[in-house]
Structure 1
Amino acid sequence: MSQAPKAPSVLDQYPEESRESADLLKQAVPLMMRHQIAPNPVHYALWYTYSQGSNPDLNRRLDKIVGDFDVFPPETALKLFREHIICNELEEARVNQQQVIELVDDIEGDVARSVEGSTAYNESLIFGLQALRDPQDENLPNVLTELHESTQQMQAQQEKFLYRLRTAQTEIQHLRTQLDRAHMAATLDHLTQIFNRNAFTHLLSKALKSDYRGLALVMMDIDHFKNFNDQYGHPLGDRVLQHVGQLLRDLLPPRAMAARYGGEEFCVIMRDCHDLQTAHAFAERLRLKIQALRVKVRSTDKVIDSITASFGLALAQAGDDPEGLITRADDQLYKAKHSGRNQVHPPASSAALSA
């Protein structure tokens, strides 16, 4: 079965570097404000693409909508998002589904032919057995010849079916790989290679529903990151984020999950963590590793050794939803920021009291 050519993914539509992306957002946000368009991911994607100018048809549709309506219709926004932003993903899913259907149909046909061959072989075998019971039967040579031919046909059909089955296994594995890649693209942050915010929200909600006990949330924010980007540029800022992502992957305890929450902010969901002291120990290790980072400015060979991060911790409680737990951890992060940065809150003494 031939494979359909792969359409460009959503990520392929946005090849800009961080600085270019920031410039496009600076164009998109005022446009949204001018037309009183609610700030949500769907609208951001539409107006970012509008500012990008890569989809003239979408631009014409958006211009017409804001000219015709006082309030931007949410159902229209979703329709445009499907048609112009994620259309290729929807088409890829449809193609993959059709490939699976064709694959199953092919296997069903091979099985049907194999069954027919088995039936014919069985009939020839019955005739052969009857002829053997009557040695005077002059038709015995013909029956044996027919039985031999049926045996050969049966063997050929079985070999063909086995080959088709192995080919199907290869095709299924290919489809599975495609789906895995699509799933990874949908859940991973492409820069840091840890979970993105959408995946984090889903994982935290699922963890709270399964069992809140032994669940802790660590929120982390790189200190003065905006000033760092302004001084050294976004490419160097991206390298810092990549280093932090690598540290998180290296230091994560068993069953913990890390995510980039947004910009320079990260979250870690810890399981089997029944007190803040355990969460504090992990956050402190990570804080020291980040503080030890050394990043070289390639244009000047200057080594930057001033990267630090602040942390907020919270333990899950009965009745917690994701928003409540995030708010408590974020409040502690706020205290760490306003207590001088480069520290973990609650501090070690308070964390020990909760044990």
Structure 2
Amino acid sequence: MRYSQNKDESVALLRQVLALAAPHDAPLNPMSFAVFYEHAAGINPRLSAALEEALKASPRLDDAVLVRLYAAHVAEVGIDQAQRIQGDMQRVMTDIVQSAARTGEAAGAFGNRLADLSGALSAESSPDLAQQVQSARVSTQAMRDSVQTLQQQVSASQREIDGLRADLLRTREEAILCPLTRVLNRRGFDQKLQDMLHTPPPNGTQHCLIMLDIDHFKRVNDTHGHQLGDRVLEGLGAVLRSVPDEPDMTCARYGGEEFAVLLPASSLSKALQVAETLRSRTRGIRLRNRGTQTVEMTVTVSAGVAAWRPGDDAASLLSSADAALYRAKSAGRDRVIAA
């Protein structure tokens, strides 16, 4: 975890962050907060050195400078790492809000007690004592106001962090999705395949893999152009996304005109049924001439199906399914063959 401080340490660091941020023109948003927080915590020496250099150049830093410092020394390249950092920041912010709330409650209780005490002072009481109590009440109210302002600022920062997290999730999804077919890309498939193989199938089930390849796809591109080829890919993507009653099925564009389907905790017979359904539905794709509406081509696929066996890894399972796919092509295409 990037931030390992407990609640008490976080509150102490918060005071330092506020003191560091106060002289500057930049707002206290998640990025500027992270810069000052990591500097105060002493966990990012490169950031601290860069921050000190920036302060030498200008004692009042604006938002642009802090954004550059954040991008250069705090932000991470990896999406997963960025999500972890956002989670850490969320926990820190939550701890600070809770601590600030407790401080505000304590200040409120103390202020109420002072009010009671002030009211209890009689006219015969020492004027100095009454003045001191009144001064303490004013100071306590000022502290309550400051805590309330801090809570509002941190709450706003939390909302911004929530928005950033949502953006990160969308970015992560887009990074593993094929934009043309709207199924997973090769990267997303590899992740799902590893996840499946790391989970032993329940007794009586098998992890299965279907490899599909569009028949004569090169001829489609050469004869009709890449625009029609893209329409074929889009159509197959729609077919893959339309299979009902298979909630755990994962579909991916493996590369070019080749697609893959994962069926965890299934069976070879079930996987063959799914492959046959996909083959049959793909034959329903009719590409028509937009001017004459005549059918220019019918799309077909060949499929190879393999079931995981003890000792199989990703490479051997893929090899088995590919070999079955090759036999389906050799046997005349538009068919499904099991490994």
TM-score by length of 1: 0.62
Matches of residues 1-355 of structure 1 in structure 2 within 5 Å?
Answer: 90=77, 124-125=111-112, 127-128=114-115, 135=122, 136-139=124-127, 142=131, 145-146=134-135, 149=138, 152-153=141-142, 155-212=144-201, 213-251=205-243, 253-274=246-267, 276-298=268-290, 301-346=293-338
State, as a whole percentage, how many aligned pairs show the same letter. 32
Paired positions, count: 263
- Counterpart secondary structure, 2:295: strand
Give the secondary structure class of the aligned counterpart of 2:302. strand
Deviations 1:17-51 (A, max 9, x none): xxxxxxxxxxxxxxxxxxxxxxxxxxxxxxxxxxx
The Cα RMSD (Å) is 3.8
Using structure 2 for the length normalisation, give the TM-score: 0.64
Q: SS of the counterpart of 1:175?
A: helix
After superposition, the C-alpha distances for 1:195-252 in whole angstroms (9 at most, x for unaligned) are 1112212211221111145311011001000001111001110111011111111216
Write the distance in 1 (CA, Å) between the matches of 2:130 and 2:77: 62
Deviation at 1:179, TM superposition (A): 1.4
| Residue of structure 1 in register with 2:67 after alignment | none
Cα distance between partner residues in 2 of 1:111 and 1:150: 22
Which digits, 9 at most, give the CA deviation of each residue in 1:279-299, with x for residues without a partner? 111111111111011122346
Q: CA deviation at 1:149?
A: 3.7
Asked if structure 1 preserves the Cα contact closer than 8 Å seen for 2:272 and 2:305, the reply is: yes
Tell me which amino acid in the other structure corresponds to 1:215. Answer: H
Q: 1:155 to 1:332 in 2, by over 3 A?
A: same
- Once the 2 structures are TM-superposed, how far is the Cα of residue 109 of structure 1 from its aligned partner? 7.8
Tell me which amino acid in the other structure corresponds to 1:343.
R
Q: Partners of 2:325 and 2:181 in 1: how far apart?
A: 21
Cα deviation per residue 1:102-160 (whole Å; 9 max; x = unaligned)?
Answer: 98888888778777766665655555555566644244764674566456435533542
Change (3 A) 1:183 1:323: same
C-alpha separation between the residues in 1 aligned to 2:229 and 2:304? 22
Which whole-Å CA distance do the structure 1 matches of 2:80 and 2:266 have between them?
A: 39
Alpha-carbon separation, structure 2, partners of 1:328 and 1:95: 37
1:331 Cα offset (Å): 0.9
Whether contact under 8 Å (1:218, 1:283) holds in the other structure is yes
Residues 170, 226 of structure 1: CA spacing in aligned structure 2 closer, same or farther, 3 A cutoff? same
Contact residue 114 and residue 161 of structure 1 kept, 8 A: no
Unaligned runs of at least 5 residues, structure 1: 5-87
Q: Distance in 2 between matches of 1:343 and 1:94?
A: 43
The answer to whether the Cα contact below 8 Å between 2:107 and 2:140 also exists between their aligned partners in 1 is no
Worse-matched range after superposition: 174-183 or 213-222: 174-183
